């Protein structure tokens, strides 16, 4: 760049040339300044992101395991996500403004997937090679190697028609015509293949996309399928999968301890909606080292009358963890046949009531009660997965004293409160049912909470925002059936769509006496064995 004190040119052409040079230099300087400013912003954002990560890590390590702690972690995750989006935007601006400058000063590596599947197909795109040397123009070029730049890409799903061709043959001796039997189909005389049916079921009941939205999505992809057709397929699939549903229910009811809960589901009825119920019963023996695979089954009812759980659990005896719903009381009566069910209360449910008072900051009794309960929860986390006898022994040693002290302390505090206050009522909720709350101390198969059932219902709560209501009681029963399949797959860490596609293809020709071989955990074992063999 020329010195500012150099004499100015005397002729117009030289002055014009000098102006062009200075404009070019000014533009380059502005680009470098913008790149430097963007780099400073990116650095500041990176510092803020790391601060949030550090705060999150400290919260997870040292913070209390409570609803408030979970809310703070979620807020930190959202803040980190927002910072990373802003950071990416600033980097993109810097790249556009000054590609060469940001290339040299690029301090933060681009993010990508942590690990890609080894069997992911690779498509090589070879860029056209130069025909001549870019420096001297010579055409005598020799390949030295190659530089590979990788990117992850996704293509829209591929639709196809599968034609099952059965060749006919005629016998030259007797003129009889012979042809192979028609292949079985998940739906009798149906057109949809098992993978398509599995995708429709999972999209509706796991991804919560109503059939009308699915129909519109398929139409945009060039495949027009009426909503009524999709509904027919869903109904037919549930009928086809009925043997699997019966086997899953039988497996759950063979458990010695189950979790139970229910949630609302709006149901359309004569121009309005009524509040139906979806009930879940979950068997999960893993907390006490049980070998039985986890599973869940769902039932639908038009209302919340106590007769429904009595019908669902006809003939079953054991320990049931649930909330204090009075509709379950008939299950606990001594006169019940074949025997009364033992009730185990949910400490998380009781703690949640007290936490609502504690988070206001105006109830020191509730704050102290939650703190004491958190000590009990912390001890319980150390014995997860141990056999029942060992769990009981450890509870007697570490947890029982804490529980006894909590009862004495809460009784003293309740005596100081007016019986009409909400806090006194919530304290009495647990003290009045102390036998059920203390049952876990003498029974190693009992957990401290009923969270297993609450987690199983979480997908329904999310889905209600999308599908709004069930169309009828029959629709509610179909939803319960598919939720049974989907939630059981999730409990066993299985992709529901892959399992449904395979089972729908096999089920029509599968022996009825061997239906257990198609249950999710057996299917998973076969898949793992096939992978190892390959």
Q: Annotate 11-78 with three-state secondary structure.
A: CHHHHHHHHHHHHHHHHHHHHHHHHHHHHHHHHHHHHHHHHHHHHHHHHHHHCCCCHHHHHHHHHHHH
In a domain, 157, yes or no: no
- In this model, does residue 458 exceed pLDDT 50? yes
- Work out the average pLDDT over 50-73: 58
- In this model, does residue 503 exceed pLDDT 90? yes
**Per-residue pLDDT reduced to its tens digit, 398-447:** 999 999 999 999 999 999 999 889 999 999 999 999 999 999 999 999 99
pLDDT of residue 69: 52
**Per-residue pLDDT reduced to its tens digit, 313-371:** 999 999 999 999 999 999 999 999 999 999 999 999 999 999 999 988 788 999 999 99
List, edge to edge, every strand of the sheet that includes 272-283.
295-301, 272-283, 257-269, 319-321, 342-344
Token representation of residue 273: 């909606």
41-55, 75-89, 431-445: segment of lowest average pLDDT = 75-89
Rounded CA gap, 57 and 65, in Å? 13
In a domain, 276, yes or no: no
Rounded CA gap, 299 and 308, in Å? 9
Pairing, β 295-301 against β 272-283: antiparallel
- Pick from 100-114, 186-200, 249-263 the range whose average pLDDT is largest: 249-263
**Per-residue pLDDT reduced to its tens digit, 129-161:** 888 888 888 888 888 888 887 777 777 788 999
Q: Which helix (H) or strand (E) holds 269?
A: strand 257-269
**Per-residue pLDDT reduced to its tens digit, 3-39:** 555 677 777 777 777 888 888 888 777 777 777 777 7
Q: What are phi and psi of 122, to 5 degrees?
A: -115, 130
Rounded CA gap, 215 and 291, in Å? 42
In a domain, 71, yes or no: yes
Q: What are phi and psi of 368, to 5 degrees?
A: -70, -40
Rounded CA gap, 487 and 455, in Å? 9
- Do 340 and 329 form a contact (C-beta atoms < 8 A)? no
User: Full-prediction pTM beyond 0.75?
Assistant: yes
In a domain, 364, yes or no: no
pLDDT of residue 308: 95
- In this model, does residue 95 exceed pLDDT 50? yes
In a domain, 293, yes or no: no
- Work out the average pLDDT over 524-532: 89
pLDDT of residue 125: 85
- In this model, does residue 466 exceed pLDDT 90? no
> Quick one: pLDDT band at residue 106, thresholds 50, 70, 90?
very low
- In this model, does residue 112 exceed pLDDT 60? no
In a domain, 451, yes or no: no
pLDDT of residue 514: 94
In a domain, 47, yes or no: yes
Proportion of the chain above pLDDT 90, given as a percent: 50
Longest Cα–Cα distance of the chain, Å, equals 116
- In this model, does residue 179 exceed pLDDT 90? no
Q: What are phi and psi of 279, to 5 degrees?
A: -105, 145
In a domain, 525, yes or no: no
**Average pLDDT value for the chain:** 85
> Quick one: pLDDT band at residue 485, thresholds 50, 70, 90?
very high
Provide the 10 A C-beta neighbour count for residue 14: 11
Q: Structural domain of residue 56, as residue ranges? A: 26-104
- Give how many domains the chain has, as a whole number: 1
Token representation of residue 394: 């450890």
- Work out the average pLDDT over 64-85: 55
Residue from 343, 347, 428 nearest 380 by CA: 347
């Amino acid at each position: 760049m020329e010195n500012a004190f150099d004499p100015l040119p005397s002729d117009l052409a030289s002055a014009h040339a000098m102006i062009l040079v200075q404009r070019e230099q000014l533009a380059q300087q502005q680009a470098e300044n913008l790149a430097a400013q963007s780099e400073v912003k990116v650095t500041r954002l990176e510092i803020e992101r790391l601060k949030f990560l550090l705060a999150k890590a400290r919260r997870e390590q040292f913070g209390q395991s409570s609803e408030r702690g979970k809310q703070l972690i979620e807020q930190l995750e959202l803040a980190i996500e927002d910072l990373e989006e802003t950071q990416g935007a600033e980097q993109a601006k810097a790249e556009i403004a000054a590609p060469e400058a940001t290339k040299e000063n690029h301090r933060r590596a681009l993010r990508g997937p942590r690990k890609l599947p080894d069997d992911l197909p690779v498509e090589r795109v070879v860029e056209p090679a130069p025909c001549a040397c870019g420096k001297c123009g010579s055409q005598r070029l020799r390949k030295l190697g190659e530089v590979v730049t990788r990117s992850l890409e996704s293509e829209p799903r591929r639709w196809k028609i599968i034609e099952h061709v059965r060749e006919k043959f005629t016998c030259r001796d007797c003129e009889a015509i012979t042809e192979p039997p028609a292949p079985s189909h998940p739906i009798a005389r149906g057109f949809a293949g098992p993978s398509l049916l599995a995708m429709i079921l999972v999209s509706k009941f796991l991804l919560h996309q109503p059939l009308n939205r699915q129909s519109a999505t398929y139409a945009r992809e060039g495949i027009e399928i009426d909503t009524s057709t999709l509904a027919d397929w869903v109904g037919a699939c549930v009928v086809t999968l009925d043997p699997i549903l019966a086997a899953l229910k039988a497996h759950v009811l063979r458990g010695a301890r189950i979790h139970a809960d229910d949630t609302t589901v709006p149901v359309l009825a004569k121009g309005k909606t009524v509040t139906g119920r979806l009930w879940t019963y979950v068997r999960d023996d893993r907390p006490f080292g049980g070998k039985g695979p986890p599973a869940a089954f769902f039932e639908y009812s038009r209302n919340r009358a106590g007769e429904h759980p009595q019908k669902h659990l006809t003939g079953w005896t054991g320990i049931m963890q649930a909330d204090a719903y009075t509709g379950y009381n008939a299950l606990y009566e001594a006169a019940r046949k074949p025997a009364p069910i033992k009730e185990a209360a949910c400490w998380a449910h009781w703690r949640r009531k007290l936490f609502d008072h504690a988070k206001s900051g105006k109830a020191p009794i509730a704050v102290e009660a939650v703190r004491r309960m958190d000590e009990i929860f912390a001890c319980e986390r150390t014995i997860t997965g141990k056999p029942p006898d060992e769990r009981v022994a450890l509870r007697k040693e570490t947890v029982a004293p804490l529980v006894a002290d909590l009862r004495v302390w809460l009784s003293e505090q309740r005596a100081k409160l007016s019986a009409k206050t909400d806090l006194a009522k919530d304290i009495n909720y647990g003290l009045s049912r102390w036998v059920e709350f203390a049952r876990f101390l003498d029974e190693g198969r009992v957990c401290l909470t009923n969270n297993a059932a609450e987690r199983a219902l979480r997908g329904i709560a999310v889905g209600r925002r999308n599908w709004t209501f069930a169309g009828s009681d029959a629709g509610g029963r179909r939803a319960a059936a598919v939720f049974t399949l989907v939630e059981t797959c999730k409990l066993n860490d299985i992709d529901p769509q892959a399992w449904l596609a395979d089972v729908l293809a096999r089920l029509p020709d599968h022996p009825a006496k061997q239906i257990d071989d198609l249950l999710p955990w057996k299917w998973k074992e076969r898949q793992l064995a096939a992978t190892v063999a390959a």
